């Protein structure tokens, strides 16, 4: 299919990309129309054209993240991550309509051939097909044409702003900014019985605002807003204002507050600077609200992607119900979308349309519609009556042994999950070592980019086809954690040699299933515990092997606070930080001591309550069979100036301290020596795994070793939950 791709230097391309796959519980839609949000998308393209310095000034939060990465991984790795992010193309578009062509088995609301309006900056792109979750789609009622329904997401943004304002019949409201959203806000306010004054800087917007129901239109620079409001409100001032402008200055905010009456209301929906001058905010005791996109449910992954709808008795207007309300207003004729639409163009001419919008012609544009045609389904369209079978494996109690050296090299390596981590830390070390087959990712644009950059033979958005042929092949899995176990099971069922990023799985039950599958598969499993491959780690382990008796290691990790918006904060996807990240350091103890863990005790500093109902810090002590002891302090607290990782080891006549796997200081015979190293083992682990795939070396990490580390991690989590020591045991 074809899709618009935007690069970080401002380039736009119409690319051939893989067909997307309906998400769990979702649908695949063949687009007939999509709407270009002129203001928002023009701003995205202009930001992309900024140089690095301008980008840094615009996003200081991202600069801080780069500095944090440089402190722990070095400047080379930090700049590589930046380059990878800047070179990946971004999709455009978030409001569209089309026809359902495939439905996930878990979806019960939609059928093939349903006409639907779809939304979401994460899925409703300007592309021939879109894969969207259930609650970001709404059926188009009879009497509403598809081109009208394509406005649904934009209408929902505007409708939510009006809901936040809560206008009453006859109130006088100022709408600052008459771009696409501002014009729709004007229309919804008019439909609610409010009287509307529209303010904009472009004279061309006057006719559009009047067509959408504005009683008065003021053009800044040509008319005096204060005098116009004075005459319109008998000197009282406006009852409320909606800031729908996009502005880097505080001018629109100050204009609105100046003409607001005592105890008036302001709702912010546009991306504009909002500094509240004291004389207005305090003196008038104003109320300020922000309107968050399409409505309740927006940015909640449990709602949008897991289909957990909010009960209507508690949340009347969710984003999906806002979709439906907008469509009904279209049906009733209360939204004059024809007057709003200033341009309609074929999707094949999208690049020319964007070129026009980037120029001075954009001032006269409002609703710009891309038309995809409503012809026959393409040859690449999936069969509507079929759905991929779901894999079910029954666990048995079998203990696999270490995999031998391969008798013949694998034919290729496929990759499932190609996010920034995989592109930065794994794929550069895989390229050139083995033949690369298919790359699979949810987002078609990024999948296509990775295929071209690293030289994959093909690209796809669904993993089922990767396992459809009977070949000796490897597969690298770098998805979110909740998908690791299902994908490993599917790969082993296809007799593939698997490399899966940590953690291997999220539950003991999944571990038992994988163990059973590994015992009967001709494939193998390696988990991405990269730290055991780091040059500093192998050197330190050799020192400890030369040191008699048990050892003690203290590993302190200053992980930093968990951002509430991070996918790690979604326990269903990540399993939490203790399971998803601390497993690295439990595995490192097992590697360092080369001994079996037998018992673990643990506690957390912050209780697992409130917004994060699971621990994100852990202090654990692990007892090993040879008498060694590992102490892990994995903390979300601390100051970012402190090194992220410090491991201190004590043995007979030996003390060693490893900092960020870059510097190793060894104290021995009353002398101190220091060695410098590079990297945390990502390159070395890829080299070891590909040597195995080529038949040149045995498997680098026996499955039993990864299994042991996961059992230790599960026991540590249970020790937190139970408040007592837990025996490691076996399954």
Last residue of a domain, one of 321, 348, 371: 371
| Same-domain status, 80 and 213 | no
609-626 residue pLDDT tens: 666 667 788 999 999 999
- pLDDT at residue 312 is higher than 90: yes
| Same-domain status, 331 and 285 | no
Q: Which residues pair with 97 in a beta bridge?
A: 33, 117
What is residue 384's predicted lDDT score, i.e. its pLDDT? 47
Q: Is residue 376 part of a domain?
A: no
Q: Is residue 117 part of a domain?
A: yes
How large a percentage of the chain has pLDDT more than 90?
Answer: 71
Which tops the pLDDT comparison, 73 or 499? Answer: 499
| Same-domain status, 143 and 170 | no
- pLDDT at residue 714 is higher than 80: yes
Q: Is residue 235 part of a domain?
A: yes
Cis before residue 503, ω within 30 degrees of 0? Answer: yes
Within 242-396, where are the H helices? Answer: 251-258, 278-281, 301-304, 319-332, 337-340, 350-357
- pLDDT at residue 79 is higher than 80: no
What whole-number distance in Å separates Cα of residue 467 and Cα of residue 346?
37
| Same-domain status, 146 and 182 | no
524-528 sheet: strands from edge to edge: 458-460, 436-440, 413-416, 474-477, 497-501, 524-528
Q: Is residue 157 part of a domain?
A: no
387-401 residue pLDDT tens: 433 333 333 333 344
Last residue of a domain, one of 529, 561, 593: 529
Name the pLDDT band for 355 (thresholds 50, 70, 90): confident
Task: For the chain, give the mean pLDDT.
Answer: 89
| Same-domain status, 567 and 668 | yes
96-129 residue pLDDT tens: 999 999 999 998 899 999 999 999 999 999 999 9
Q: Mean of the pLDDT values across residues 3-31?
A: 91
Q: State the CATH number of the domain containing residue 41.
A: 3.90.180.10
Q: Is residue 222 part of a domain?
A: yes
Count how many domains the chain has. 4
| Same-domain status, 121 and 87 | yes
557-587 residue pLDDT tens: 998 888 777 888 888 889 988 899 999 999 9
- pLDDT at residue 65 is higher than 80: no
Q: Mean of the pLDDT values across residues 589-603?
A: 95
Q: Is residue 400 part of a domain?
A: no
Q: Is residue 399 part of a domain?
A: no
Last residue of a domain, one of 339, 371, 403: 371
Least confident among 171-185, 268-282, 621-635: 268-282
- pLDDT at residue 376 is higher than 70: no
Q: Which residues of 72-108 are buried (b: 16+ CB within 10 A; e: fewer)?
A: bbbeebbebbbebeeebbbbbbbbbbbbbbbbbeebe
Q: State the CATH number of the domain containing residue 588.
A: 3.30.360.10
| Same-domain status, 182 and 94 | no
| Same-domain status, 564 and 713 | yes
Q: State the CATH number of the domain containing residue 457.
A: 3.40.50.720
- pLDDT at residue 217 is higher than 90: yes
What is residue 667's predicted lDDT score, i.e. its pLDDT? 97
| Same-domain status, 214 and 276 | yes
Name the pLDDT band for 41 (thresholds 50, 70, 90): confident
Q: Is residue 489 part of a domain?
A: yes
454-486 residue pLDDT tens: 999 999 988 888 888 888 899 999 999 999 999
Range of the domain at 541: 532-681+701-727
- pLDDT at residue 72 is higher than 80: no
CA angle, residues 226, 231, 234, in degrees to nearest 5: 110
- pLDDT at residue 597 is higher than 60: yes
- pLDDT at residue 608 is higher than 80: no
Q: Mean of the pLDDT values across residues 521-543?
A: 96
| Same-domain status, 324 and 433 | no
| Same-domain status, 286 and 363 | no
What is residue 75's predicted lDDT score, i.e. its pLDDT? 66
What is the widest separation between alpha-carbon atoms in the chain? Answer: 92
Least confident among 272-276, 521-525, 609-613: 609-613
Name the pLDDT band for 53 (thresholds 50, 70, 90): low
230-262 residue pLDDT tens: 999 999 999 999 999 988 899 999 999 999 999
| Same-domain status, 568 and 712 | yes
What is residue 471's predicted lDDT score, i.e. its pLDDT? 84
């Amino acid at each position: 299919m074809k899709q618009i791709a935007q690069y970080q230097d401002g380039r736009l391309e119409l690319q051939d990309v893989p067909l997307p796959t309906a998400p769990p519980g979702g649908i695949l839609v063949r687009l007939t129309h999509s709407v270009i949000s002129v203001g928002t998308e023009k701003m995205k393209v202009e930001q992309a054209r900024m140089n690095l310095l301008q980008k840094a000034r615009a996003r200081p939060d991202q600069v801080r993240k780069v500095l944090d990465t440089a402190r722990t991984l070095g400047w080379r790795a930090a700049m590589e991550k930046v380059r990878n992010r800047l070179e990946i193309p971004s999709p455009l578009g978030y409001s569209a309509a089309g026809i359902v062509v495939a439905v996930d088995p878990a979806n019960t609301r939609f059928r093939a051939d349903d006409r639907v309006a779809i939304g979401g900056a994460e899925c409703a792109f300007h592309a021939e097909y879109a894969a969207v979750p259930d609650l970001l789609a709404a059926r188009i009622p009879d009497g509403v044409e598809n081109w009208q329904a394509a406005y649904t997401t934009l209408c929902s943004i505007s409708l939510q702003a009006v809901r936040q304002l809560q206008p009453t019949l006859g109130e006088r409201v100022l709408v600052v900014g008459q771009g696409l959203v501002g014009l729709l806000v004007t229309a919804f306010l008019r439909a609610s019985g409010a009287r509307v004054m529209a303010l904009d800087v472009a004279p061309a917007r006057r006719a559009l605002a009047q067509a959408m129901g504005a009683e008065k239109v003021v053009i800044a620079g040509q008319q005096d807003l204060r005098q116009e409001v004075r005459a319109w409100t008998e000197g009282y001032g406006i009852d409320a204002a909606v800031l729908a402008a996009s502005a880097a200055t505080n001018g629109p905010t100050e204009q609105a507050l100046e003409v607001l009456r005592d105890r008036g209301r302001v709702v912010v929906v546009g991306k504009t600077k909002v500094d509240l001058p004291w004389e207005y905010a305090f003196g008038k005791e104003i109320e300020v609200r922000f309107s968050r996109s399409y409505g309740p449910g927006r940015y909640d992954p449990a709602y949008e992607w897991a289909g957990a709808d909010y009960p209507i008795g508690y949340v009347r207007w969710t984003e999906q119900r806002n979709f439906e309300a907008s469509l009904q207003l279209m049906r009733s004729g209360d939204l004059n979308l024809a007057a709003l639409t200033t341009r309609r163009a074929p999707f094949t001419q999208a690049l020319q349309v964007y070129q026009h919008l980037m120029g001075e012609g954009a001032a006269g544009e409002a609703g710009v519609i891309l038309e995809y045609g409503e012809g026959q389904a393409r040859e690449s369209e999936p069969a509507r009556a079929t759905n991929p079978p779901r894999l079910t494996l029954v666990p048995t109690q079998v203990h696999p042994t270490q995999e031998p050296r391969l008798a013949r090299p694998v034919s290729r390596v496929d990759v499932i999950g190609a996010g920034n981590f995989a592109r930065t830390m794994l794929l550069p070390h895989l390229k050139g070592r083995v033949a690369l087959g298919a790359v699979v990712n949810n987002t078609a644009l990024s999948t296509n980019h990775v295929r071209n950059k690293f030289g994959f033979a093909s690209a796809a958005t669904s993993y089922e086809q990767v396992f459809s042929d009977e070949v000796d092949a490897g597969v690298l899995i770098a998805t979110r954690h909740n998908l690791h176990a299902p994908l490993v099971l599917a790969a082993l069922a296809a007799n593939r040699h698997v490399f899966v990023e940590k953690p291997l799985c999220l539950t003991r039950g999944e571990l038992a299933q994988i163990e059973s599958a590994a015992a009967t598969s001709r494939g193998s499993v390696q988990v991405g515990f990269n730290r055991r491959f780091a040059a500093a780690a192998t050197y330190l382990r050799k020192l400890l092997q030369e040191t008699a008796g048990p050892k003690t290691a203290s590993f302190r990790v200053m992980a930093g606070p968990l951002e509430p918006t991070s996918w790690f904060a979604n326990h269903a996807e990540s399993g939490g930080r203790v399971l998803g990240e601390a497993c690295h350091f439990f595995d490192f103890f097992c590697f360092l001591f080369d001994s079996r863990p037998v018992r673990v005790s643990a506690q957390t500093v912050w209780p697992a309550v409130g917004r994060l109902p699971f621990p994100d810090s852990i202090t654990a002590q692990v007892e090993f069979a040879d008498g060694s002891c590992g102490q892990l302090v994995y903390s979300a607290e601390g100051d970012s100036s402190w090194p992220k990782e410090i491991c201190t080891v004590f043995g007979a006549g030996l003390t060693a301290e490893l900092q960020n796997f870059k510097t190793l200081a060894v104290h021995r015979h009353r002398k101190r020596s220091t060695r410098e190293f590079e990297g945390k083992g990502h390159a070395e682990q890829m080299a070891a795994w590909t040597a195995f795939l080529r038949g040149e070396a045995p498997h680098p990490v026996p499955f039993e070793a990864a299994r042991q580390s996961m059992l230790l991690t599960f026991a540590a989590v249970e020790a937190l939950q139970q408040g007592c020591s837990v025996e490691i045991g076996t399954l």
